[in-house]
Amino acid sequence: MNKGLDDDDDVFYGSKKKPKKESEPAPKSQSNAYRNDYREPVKESRYNETSSSSEPAQQEERDIETEITETRREKQHAAEIHDITKLRQEAAKHSADAAKFFKRYRTEEAAMVKDTENASKARRTAENYEEKSKTATAKADDKQKDLEYLQDRKLERAKIKIAKLHAKSAKMKSKASNYMAKAAKLSQKAAAKREKSKALLEKSKLHEAEAKNLNKRADRLAKA
């Protein structure tokens, strides 16, 4: 009965019974295919992202290596500059020492020349006194020869005169000896100062040579 009513309804409403279709494959396989098709681009996208992200990392690594190389080069250059500066500083110190010893050499040399001149002057003075002593002795000898011709008061005065001449000769000879001793002392001082001045000059030359060698080494490093 129900079946007849259903058929009447279909006739009344103009609907027709649709024929049954063959069973279609389950959508599960379609879903899997879609998912498989979808996953492939995902994998490719991840690979692309990984590749694109690795490129800046490699670039950054290369930049760091370049900076390290540049820093090492600058460090080596700074070390070379430090060595050059140190050599020039030592050279300047040796130059200063050379100038100091040369100044002392000139001072000692001036004192040596002064003592030498004073010794020569004292020697000349001693020679003058020696001549005066000889002159007084000669006069005394002449007076002594005349004694046999003199009598009384003249003889006494002649003897006194002779004694005075001998005293004067002895005095002049004593002064001559004193000046000769002074000249010898001054000559000894001059000789000591000469020796000291030459030693100072040698030290000055050694420091000067060392300064030149250090400056040459610095120049070679600067040109390298």
Q: Is the pLDDT of residue 23 over 50?
A: no
Span 184-210, average pLDDT:
97
Residue 55: per-residue pLDDT: 66
Comparing 40 with 194, the larger pLDDT belongs to: 194
Count of CB atoms situated within 10 Å of the CB of 74: 10
Spatial distance between the Cα atoms of 57 and 179, rounded to a whole number of angstroms: 99
Q: Is the pLDDT of residue 37 over 90?
A: no
This prediction's pTM: 0.61
**Confidence class for position 153, pLDDT limits 50, 70, 90:** confident
Residue 19 backbone zone (phi > 0: left; psi -120 to 50: alpha; other: beta):
beta
**Confidence class for position 206, pLDDT limits 50, 70, 90:** very high
Q: Is the pLDDT of residue 98 over 80?
A: yes
Spatial distance between the Cα atoms of 140 and 173, rounded to a whole number of angstroms: 15
Residue 11: per-residue pLDDT: 42
Residue 6: per-residue pLDDT: 46
pLDDT tens profile 58-68? 676 678 888 88
Q: What are the CA-CA distances from residue 170 to residues 88, 135, 145, 181 (Å)?
A: 68, 11, 20, 16
pLDDT tens profile 154-175? 888 888 999 999 999 999 999 9
Mean pLDDT, the chain, whole residue set? 81
**Confidence class for position 57, pLDDT limits 50, 70, 90:** low
The 3-state secondary structure of the chain, one letter per residue:
CHHHHHHHHHHHHCCCCCCCCCCCCCHHHHHHHHHHHHHHHHHHHHHHHHHHHHHHHHHHHHHHHHHHHHHHHHHHHHHHHHHHHHHHHHHHHHHHHHHHHHHHHHHHHHHHHHHHHHHHHHHHHHHHHHHHHHHHHHHHHHHHHHHHHCCHHHHHHHHHHHHHHHHHHHHHHHHHHHHHHHHHHHHHHHHHHHHHHHHHHHHHHHHHHHHHHHHHHHHHHHHC
Comparing 32 with 178, the larger pLDDT belongs to: 178
Spatial distance between the Cα atoms of 202 and 102, rounded to a whole number of angstroms: 9
Span 198-202, average pLDDT:
97
Classify the C-alpha dihedral 214-216-217-221 as positive or negative: positive
Residue 26: per-residue pLDDT: 47
Residue 152: per-residue pLDDT: 80
Count of CB atoms situated within 10 Å of the CB of 174: 12
**Confidence class for position 106, pLDDT limits 50, 70, 90:** very high
Residue 56: per-residue pLDDT: 65
